[in-house]
Amino acid sequence: MKKTNTFKKALIYIIIGLLSITFILPFIWMLRSSLMELQQIFIMPPQWIPNPVKLENYIHALTIVPFALYFKNTMIILILGMVGTLITSTLSAYSFARLRWKGRDFWFKVILTSMMLPGAVTLIPQFLGWNALGMVGSFVPLIVPAFFGGGAFNIFLLRQFYMSIPLELDEAAIVDGASFFRIYTSIILPLSRSAIIVIAIFSFMFYWNDFMGPLIYLTDESKYTLAIGLQMFQGAYNTRWEELMAASTSIILPCVLIFIIGQKYFLEGITMSGLKG
């Protein structure tokens, strides 16, 4: 028994190790390019050690575009957007997964259809709507939709998770006289922590990297976000690859950190705490 276990473990390590190498390649390529001279980046087959190490790339990349300002703008959109998404998507999904009401399944399916029409054709009508309301140029079109359900993807994902939580928990709570809202806050939310973390990670990535939304709706350069700033490095005549990669590395590092921190809090086996609570 023991032997097969160690053998199994070793096999898992080997497979994960080998796959990890291929998966980390693009990141390494970006990182080492960000520290190189332009000439060295495209040598084939790739060279992996920068020589000389050019830290100046970072200094130049981070000063040529007003990144501090763009960071502030990004954070405003990101924090408000995440708050809206997390509150309304968890609440809506709770209703779709665990409450019974007339029209529930109809509305759920209708909301799903919003993912099926290519964004290219709804972009302009959407813009015209915000334009008619006089909101173009502000952060409002970027933030407010998050407070209205936070997107079909999140609602659907949460619904799937909620539906895996044993029903007896709700029923027991109802008998105890708990309100639906109380069930949502004290049973559903704690037991679907993993899924909520996934949504928090995804919505962080979305607002951090969203380029099209800010580009279309913002009209003033002082309101630009990091993602727009990053695009500037891909010039019309030539791309300064070393600076593009330095800027890219700086921008994705927070994402990596958020991810590592976030997924640490995945639930590991829910029942022990769940059924007793």
Residues within window 19-58 making contact with another protein, judged by CB under 8 A: 19-20, 22-27, 29-30, 33, 38-39, 41-46
Binding marks (x or -) toward another protein, 153..192, rule CB under 8 A? x-xxx--xxxxxxxx-xx---x-----xx--x------xx
Choose the stretch contacting another protein; rule: CB under 8 A; options: 49-57, 73-81, 234-242. 234-242
Binding marks (x or -) toward another protein, 107..146, rule CB under 8 A? x-xxxxxxxxxx-xxxxxxxxxx-xxx--x--------x-
How buried is 66 (Cβ within 10 angstroms: 0-12 exposed, 13-18 middle, 19+ buried)?
middle
CB 205 within 8 A of CB 74: no
Residue 206 touching another protein (CB under 8 A): no
Choose the stretch contacting another protein; rule: CB under 8 A; options: 51-59, 67-75, 151-159. 151-159
Choose the stretch contacting another protein; rule: CB under 8 A; options: 50-58, 71-79, 199-207. 199-207
Binders of another protein in range 240-259 (CB under 8 A): 240, 244-245, 248, 252, 255-256, 259
| Closest CB 31 distance from another protein, rounded Å | 9
With contacts defined by CB under 8 A, how many residues of the chain interact with another protein?
A: 137
Distance CA 151, CA 89 (A): 7
| Closest CB 102 distance from another protein, rounded Å | 6
Residue 1 touching another protein (CB under 8 A): no
Residue 264 touching another protein (CB under 8 A): yes
Would you say 71 or 153 has its CB closer to another protein?
153
